[in-house]
Every structure is written in C-alpha cells, then in structure tokens.
Amino acid sequence: MKNPNAAYYRLGLFVLAGIFLAVVLTVVFSSGKLFNKTYVVETYVEGSVTGLDVGASVRYRGVRVGKVKSIQLSSALYEVKLAQLSRHDYVVVRMELEEEQIKESDIEDLIAKDLRTQMKSQGLTGVNYIELNVIKDTSNFPVLEYEWRPSNPVIPSIPSQTDIVIGAVQKAINAVDDLNLDETKKQLETLISNMNLLIAGDNKKNPGLIATVTELDQLLLSVNKLSNSPELANVIKNTADSALLVRNRLSSGDNDTQMTLNQLKIMAEQLNDLSRQLSRNPSGAILGPVPAKIQIPSNVNSVGDTSK
C-alpha cells in the first residue's frame, strides 16, 4: 500500500526547489552579472593591506568597476625559487574588473596615462577598498621594481593615505633627529643679541632704534610747531600775493611785451645787415662810404692848350 504522504512530500520539495530557483534567477538577472565579461589585473603593494579582504570593492573615481579576487604575497607567486633576502615580498592584489565598466583594450592606455591604485577606507565603517585613479604628478610615487613576468596587466600603486601620513611624520621625526640643537641654540642666541644691539644701540656709533625713534619724534614736533607758527603763515601769504601780482602784470602787459619783442626783432635784423656790410667792406665801418668819383670837364683842358 502506497504512503499517501509521499505525494505531498514530493510536491513540497518541488515547490521549494521552484522557489529557490526563482530567487536565484531573480538575483542574477536583476544584478546583470550573468553575462557580464570580466578580466583580471593586479597591483603590487609594498606596505600593509590590513582591512582589505577578498571581495572588497574596486572603484574607479568612486564608481564600482570590479572586486578584489585574491590577496597573496609575491614570494608565494613569483619568488618561490629566490632566497629570502632576495625577495621583495610585495602584496599582490589581483582584481577582477568588469568589461562593461572599463574595457580590457583600454587598460594599457590608462596605465600609460599614470593610472594608479590606492587602498582607501570607506567612511566610518573602516572597510577598505581599492580606488583607481589617474594621478597627475607621480614623481613622488615611483613604480615598484620587480624582475618576474606578471600573469596579468599590472597597475602601479601608490601608498595608502595612512601610509602617506605616517611617512610624513617619520620624515619630520628624522629631520628633528638630524638637527644640531647646540648649534641652533648658539645661532639663536647670536640672533637675539644682534636684535638687542639693533634696538638699544651700543652707546657709540650705533644709537639704536630707540634713540632714532626719539629723535624722529622731536623732529616731528618741530615740524608741527613750525607749521603752526604765524611767521610761516605770513610767508606763505606773501608768496601767494607776489605770485598773483606777477601773474596780473604779465596778463596786463601783453601789448608792451609784443612791442618789445618787435623792437628786438628789428634790432636783430639791423645787426645782421651790419655784419654783412662789415664782411664786404671792413674799412667802411671806420672811414665811411667811398667818395664819388670826380669828373674833370673837357673845356678846362682846351683852355690850357690855348695859353701855351
């Protein structure tokens, strides 16, 4: 005899399988990941990647373009046959990027334009992710050197924000350690002494800024006193009156001035004539003009002949 509950049992399993399949298909098709092509790139990190896990987001300028596929050491992937002292021991982060977001054919061009990876923290949660971005100035972030042949395209990395801050603090500490505090103290004392000498003076040739300021105050008081004196006001008033008088004389004597100029012009012309005459006849200026030639009448000669 057949068990009547077996049919219900099989029906229940069929319904549950259908529900499960429907949920899976809904999730897959709604996310659009079923037919989305992906490819793998990798980056090498010299520092620590604490807080970065497999499956973490990979973002390009804030937009999710993939996820972290694996996190391993270069000594386990590429440097197995090398001695420990010869290994770089980089952290190799392999990322799975979506072809729909960044085409695989464009990745080499982006790397040539200084595309870099950087580990960042997401908000207050502390979850780390990989940020892709094109860096304008990479002079402070040299590309890590390696001798192996990578299995995937390599995107160079830059230190994380935490590593950059820690590195800057370490440089500051090293700079303080390198300072010669004794020599700096001596130079500071010399500077303070020179400043005191400049301000107070040495009671000899250098009067100091205090004495100079005192003398300047006295000079200003003298100038103020002179500017308020009635004598200076009278001098200014007389000068103004004299200037006004000269101006009136010049404006009222335009005709006289023109006549004088005309006379001077005539005198200049006469002098020019005199100079020309002297150049032609220098003796004429002393002896006077040459007398006219005397003509002897012809009848006087005839009378003389008759008397003979």
Three-state secondary-structure class, residue 101: coil
- Reported as a single tens digit per residue, the pLDDT across 67-94 is 999 999 999 999 999 998 999 999 999 9
Phi-psi region of 238 (alpha: psi -120 to 50; beta: other; left: phi over 0): alpha
User: Does residue 271 carry a pLDDT above 90?
Assistant: no
Does residue 10 sit within a domain? no
Of the ranges 77-91, 176-190, 227-241, which is most confident? Answer: 77-91
- Of the candidates 97, 44, 50, 101, the one whose C-alpha atom is nearest the C-alpha of residue 73 is 44
Alpha carbon distance 60, 57 (integer Å): 10
User: Does residue 234 carry a pLDDT above 60?
Assistant: yes
Q: Which two tokens stand for residue 3?
A: 């068990």
Does residue 8 sit within a domain? no
Compute CA 206 distance to the chain's CA centroid, rounded to the nearest angstrom.
Answer: 41
Contact in structure between 124 and 76 (CB atoms under 8 Å): no
- Reported as a single tens digit per residue, the pLDDT across 14-68 is 778 888 888 777 765 555 555 679 999 999 999 889 889 999 999 998 899 999 9
Q: Which two tokens stand for residue 205?
A: 């040739």
Lowest mean pLDDT among 76-90, 164-178, 236-250, 290-304: 290-304
Three-state secondary-structure class, residue 15: helix
Does residue 200 sit within a domain? no
Alpha carbon distance 165, 174 (integer Å): 14
Does residue 215 sit within a domain? no
Alpha carbon distance 5, 306 (integer Å): 206
Alpha carbon distance 46, 88 (integer Å): 8
The H or E element containing residue 132 is: strand 127-134
How do strand 57-60 and strand 127-134 relate by DSSP bridges? parallel
Confidence bin at 179 (pLDDT 50/70/90):
low
Does residue 86 sit within a domain? yes
Does residue 164 sit within a domain? yes
Structural domain of 68 = 33-169
Q: Per the structure, how many domains does the chain have?
A: 1
Contact in structure between 148 and 78 (CB atoms under 8 Å): yes
Alpha carbon distance 241, 247 (integer Å): 10
Does residue 70 sit within a domain? yes
Q: How far is CA 307 from CA 296, 297, 298, 302, in A?
A: 19, 17, 15, 9
Phi, psi of 245 (to 5 degrees): -65, -45
In this prediction the pTM is: 0.49
Does residue 242 sit within a domain? no
Compute CA 145 distance to the chain's CA centroid, rounded to the nearest angstrom.
Answer: 34
Tell me how many degrees the CA angle 274-277-279 measures, rounded to the nearest 5: 110
pLDDT score, position 17: 82
Q: Which two tokens stand for residue 45?
A: 């990190």
User: Does residue 141 carry a pLDDT above 80?
Assistant: yes
Phi, psi of 114 (to 5 degrees): 70, 45
